[in-house]
């Protein structure tokens, strides 16, 4: 008999092509991956991978077992989701995944209020800028900015949210303030890199200010915030974060193209679970109280009275906030 848990390591190495990447994916060190693969090979008395200088490659025996291993993993995930769906009480744990930019803003405040209303439910917040796959059981609910992504999920659009350009008081005092997005070309800016370099605000910035000086870069929203507070340059931030910082000056208000949806999503196997429904209903009700902050309407606009803050929706996010849509919306009625 093999340890069924070793199938996770086998599939991760087969997908990643090396043990280091597989370890990062599974949240363990590389030596653990090597040890578990070796143990599985010894239990099966088969060589599953050829170890090469450029990584691990499946042997014919490994290739022959790959489909069955994938099927076993899918069956275990389905069993886990089914077991979770049988829980009918407002007790136990609830795992919620979200990106760092959202975790820095409203989400912790909302989770604290949810716990006050449902003290028997312990919420575990998983913060990661890449999308967690809700089908693998690591999380039950996702709070996401932008398009919902995976078409197999169900959920609601809670609101729109906007980004704007901010600078520290010391930066603005020394270098002045831009009045239009085009003016950013003669300023120092904080750039995006890594997991956030292709999000909508990063693409917008590259398009409107191709000639700006990049003072430094960050692969996280927290890094953007710390850099702009230190006076390195101007930075794009979600309004819910930037407007809450009294030491920051909003120099460019929300612009068309810097507004996206704020979604709550879950797996279809879980959407009737009472704890999931309770969290969905709670978020729909509570987020309405904070919509002005999400849209950047809690600070006076730099625009004139005749030109209010532009926080229009993108064409891909034209649904009304709170509408039951998802990607399979009518399943959450």
**Percent with pLDDT over 90 in the chain:** 51
Q: Where are the beta strands (DSSP E) in the chain?
A: 49-52, 55-58, 92-98, 121-127, 141-145, 154-168, 188-192, 213-218, 235-238, 248-252, 259-266
Q: Which CATH number fits domain 161-252: 3.90.1200.10, 3.40.50.620, 1.10.760.10, 3.40.190.10?
A: 3.40.190.10
**Residues sharing a CB contact under 8 Å with residue 313, sequence separation 6 or more, in sequence order:** 160, 259, 261
**Residues sharing a CB contact under 8 Å with residue 71, sequence separation 6 or more, in sequence order:** none
> What distance in Å separates the CA atoms of residue 148 and residue 68, rounded to the nearest whole number?
31
Q: 40-44, 99-103, 131-135, 200-204: which range is least confident on average?
A: 131-135
Nearest Cα to Cα of residue 107 among 156, 149, 141:
141
Phi, psi of 132, rounded to the nearest 5 degrees: -75, 140
Nearest Cα to Cα of residue 243 among 177, 290, 306:
290
pLDDT tens-digit map of 147-178? 766 667 888 999 999 999 999 999 999 999 99
Q: Which CATH number fits domain 6-85: 3.40.640.10, 1.10.357.10, 1.10.10.60, 1.10.10.10?
A: 1.10.10.10
Nearest Cα to Cα of residue 162 among 66, 40, 275, 255:
255
What is the pTM assigned to this prediction?
Answer: 0.64
Nearest Cα to Cα of residue 267 among 75, 158, 132:
132
By CB neighbour count within 10 A (0-12 exposed, 13-18 middle, 19+ buried), where does 287 fall? buried
Indicate the average pLDDT of the chain: 83
pLDDT tens-digit map of 23-73? 988 889 999 999 999 999 999 999 999 998 889 999 999 999 999 999 988
Q: Please report the DSSP string for 264-276 in residue order.
A: EEE-TTTTTSHHH
Residue that is written with structure tokens 């999503």 in the block: 265
Q: Which CATH number fits domain 92-160+260-291+313-332: 3.40.190.10, 3.40.50.2000, 3.50.70.10, 3.40.1360.10?
A: 3.40.190.10
> What distance in Å separates the CA atoms of residue 53 and residue 10, rounded to the nearest whole number?
19
Q: 29-43, 127-141, 202-216: which range is least confident on average?
A: 127-141
Q: Residue 111: enclosing H or E segment and its boundaries?
A: helix 107-117
Q: Please report the DSSP string for 281-295 in residue order.
A: HHHHHHHGGGHHHHT
Provide the 8-state DSSP code for 95: E
Would 6-85 and 161-252 be classified into the same CATH topology? no
Q: Which pLDDT value is given to residue 313?
A: 35
**Residues sharing a CB contact under 8 Å with residue 38, sequence separation 6 or more, in sequence order:** none
Nearest Cα to Cα of residue 117 among 286, 309, 4, 259:
286
């Amino acid at each position: 008999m093999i340890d069924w848990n070793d199938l996770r390591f086998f599939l991760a190495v087969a997908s990643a092509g090396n043990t280091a990447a597989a370890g990062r994916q599974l949240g363990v060190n590389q030596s653990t991956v090597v040890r578990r693969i070796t143990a599985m090979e010894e239990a099966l008395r088969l060589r599953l991978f050829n170890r090469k200088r450029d990584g691990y490659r499946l042997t014919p025996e490994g290739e022959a077992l790959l489909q069955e291993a994938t099927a076993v993993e899918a069956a275990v995930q389905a069993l886990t989701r089914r077991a979770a769906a049988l829980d009918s009480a407002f007790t136990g744990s609830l795992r919620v995944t979200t990106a760092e930019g959202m975790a820095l803003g409203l989400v912790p405040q909302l989770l604290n209020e949810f716990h006050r209303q449902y003290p028997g439910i312990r919420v575990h917040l998983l913060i990661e800028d890449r999308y967690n796959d809700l089908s693998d059981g690591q999380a039950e609910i996702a709070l996401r900015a932008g398009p919902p992504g995976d078409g197999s999920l169900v959920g609601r659009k809670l609101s729109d949210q906007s980004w704007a350009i901010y600078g520290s008081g010391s930066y603005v005092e020394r270098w002045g303030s831009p009045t239009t997005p085009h003016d950013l070309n003669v300023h120092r800016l904080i750039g995006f890199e890594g997991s956030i370099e292709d999000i909508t605000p990063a693409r917008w910035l590259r398009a409107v200010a191709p000639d700006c000086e990049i003072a430094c870069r960050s692969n996280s929203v927290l890094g953007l915030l710390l850099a702009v507070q230190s006076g390195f340059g101007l930075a794009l931030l979600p309004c819910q974060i930037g407007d809450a910082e009294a030491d920051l000056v909003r120099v460019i208000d929300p612009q068309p193209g810097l507004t996206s949806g704020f979604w709550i999503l879950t797996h279809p196997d879980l959407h009737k679970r009472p704890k999931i429904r309770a969290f969905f209903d709670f978020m729909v009700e509570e987020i309405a109280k904070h919509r002005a902050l999400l849209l950047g309407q809690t600070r006076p606009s730099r625009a004139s009275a005749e030109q209010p803050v532009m926080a229009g929706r993108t064409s891909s996010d034209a649904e009304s906030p709170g509408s039951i849509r998802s990607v399979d919306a009518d399943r959450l009625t």
